[in-house]
Amino acid sequence: MGVIRVLLTIIFVLDCIGLTVAVLMQEGKSQGLGAIAGAAESYWGKNKGRSMEGGLVRLTTIMGVLFFVLALFLNMLN
């Protein structure tokens, strides 16, 4: 049981570091004055899910879920 806990703790720490990096790499959600002029309806606004920003959002969501699952599981091992 000790080996599993050590491995899960290492994965948890790596997930924490990766989640922090992914969040810091994302752009802010405010569009500035471009949102007023309708710039959000441009090509980049419509296809944001396929861009690097969309990939970062997806990666952040997956890593966040993994964070909570590992945190709960590590807490149950105590």
Domain boundaries, the chain: 2-24+36-77
pLDDT of residue 32: 55
Distance CA 23, CA 60 (A): 7
User: CA-based angle 41:47:53, to the nearest 5?
Assistant: 110
pLDDT of residue 51: 81
The residue length of the chain stands at 78
Query: Are the C-beta atoms of residues 15 and 62 closer than 8 Å to each other?
Result: no
Handedness of CA 56, 58, 61, 67 (dihedral sign): negative
pTM for the full model? Answer: 0.72
Residue with the larger pLDDT of the pair 65 and 53:
65
- Could you tell me which residues come within 8 angstroms of residue 67 by beta carbon, excluding any fewer than 6 positions away? 12, 15, 16, 19
* Residue indicated by tokens 């590992």: 70
* 5-54 tens-digit pLDDT: 999 999 999 999 999 999 999 887 765 555 555 555 555 555 665 688 88
Residue 69 has pLDDT above 90, yes or no: yes
